[in-house]
Every structure is written in structure tokens, then in C-alpha cells.
Structure 1
């Protein structure tokens, strides 16, 4: 899971940078929340999780690691697409933001549990 998380985090990084470039070139900063969340929850958080999973392979190979990976990578795009359209004025898509956001929170809790259960220093 470590390598997969790092590779997909780079995709989020490219999306975040492109969105930032778009906003700066057009002077329209309504998507700042999407930009920030993609960079924090996509690029940064997934990169760090991937590194931890490489350092601690037991956590990476656990069922919790797999649940974390898939739930995070399904929920974050749902939340970001929903937020993008809500910020553009399509308020009827607000449930996507909530559903995706709840999924991301659950994924982060699963990740935290995985770390507490499976990350141990072998002596």
C-alpha cells in the first residue's frame, strides 16, 4: 500500500497545482477550499501515510491498511468534486461533500487505528 499511496498522492499533487495555477491565472479564488483539501488530504496526507506504510510493512499489509487506502481514495474525489460544484453554485450537490467528507474521516480513523495496532518497534 505504501507505494500505491505515494503514487496516487502525486496525482493529487498535480491536480492541486493545476487548480492553483488556474485560480492565479484567472484571479478567481472561489476554489481555494478544493485546492487546499486536495493538497492536504491528497498530496500531503497520502504521501506521509505511504512513507509510514513503507517503514512499517505490517501496517501496510493489514486489512486496515487496505480499507484506509480504498476508503480514502474513493471518498476524497467524491468530496472534492462535490465541493467544486457547490462552490460554483450547485448547492444541490452538497450531500456529495458530506458523504465524501464522512468517508475521509472514517478512512483517517482507520489509518490511526492501523498505526496504533500494527506499528511497533521490534526489539
Structure 2
């Protein structure tokens, strides 16, 4: 399976988690996890969905080693980052070390994405998109 489709599938799972988390917080009347909820929706659902669309629209970029590194580092770091953040927001610092490591790994994966886009998405590719349909 291509990375664009994988990003879209994982993004849809984060969307489900974010919605369920938001509804759960509202029902419980406890919004302490609002920061994690926002990260899951933005960094999980929205950003990963956009990565997926970019890799689908620009398949050359989605087939590189940079794309693979981006996918795996992002998908390893994101849940561990959210776990550490959730514990911290609930007042438990026992997993704070996760926040010293995995946000940085996430940023590294985004750096790989940016380099990949700069190297493998061209103006010609964008012009070719206008011919679709």
C-alpha cells in the first residue's frame, strides 16, 4: 500500500479518536485533556490527512526514503507524544520523559517531509494536476 493511502487511513483513525475524546470530555465535564484532544485533531487528523493527500497527488514524493522515514517516525512519535502529554495534563509526571523525546522525533519527521516536498514536488507536477478530470 502506498504511503499516501496509509497516511489517510491513520488520519481517519485519529479523527475518530479526537471526536470520541471530545465527546467523552464533554459528557464527563472534565476538559483537562483539551490540549491532547487539540493535538490529536490537528497533528493527527488534519496534518496526516494533508500529508496523505500530498503523497497521493505527488506520487514521486510518496515513494522516497524521506517519505518512509516521515511516515514511520511520525507514526511512532505521535502516540507516544500524546500519551506523555495526556499524563502530564492529568497531573501525572511519570511519563514526562516521553515529552523530552517524541515531540522532537515528530519535528524531525516533519523536517523529512519538508525536504521531500522541496526536492520532489515541482511546478510542473502542480501544472499536471490541472489536467486531472
For residue 57 of structure 2, the aligned residue among 55, 58, 63 is 55
Q: Does 1:91 align with 2:84?
A: no
Match of 1:14 in 2: 16
Q: Tell me how far 1:92 sits from its aligned partner.
A: 2.5
- On the 8 A contact 1:79/1:98 being kept in 2, the answer is no
The two structures, once aligned, show a CA RMSD in angstroms of 1.1
Match of 1:115 in 2: 117
- On the 8 A contact 1:31/1:87 being kept in 2, the answer is yes
Instruction: Give the TM-score, by structure 1 length.
Output: 0.96
For residue 102 of structure 1, the aligned residue among 98, 101, 104 is 104
Q: Tell me how far 1:106 sits from its aligned partner.
A: 0.7
Q: Tell me how far 1:68 sits from its aligned partner.
A: 0.3
Q: Tell me how far 1:121 sits from its aligned partner.
A: 3.1
Instruction: Give the TM-score, by structure 2 length.
Output: 0.89
- Structure 1 residues not aligned, in runs of 5+: none
Match of 2:71 in 1: 69
Aligned length: 123
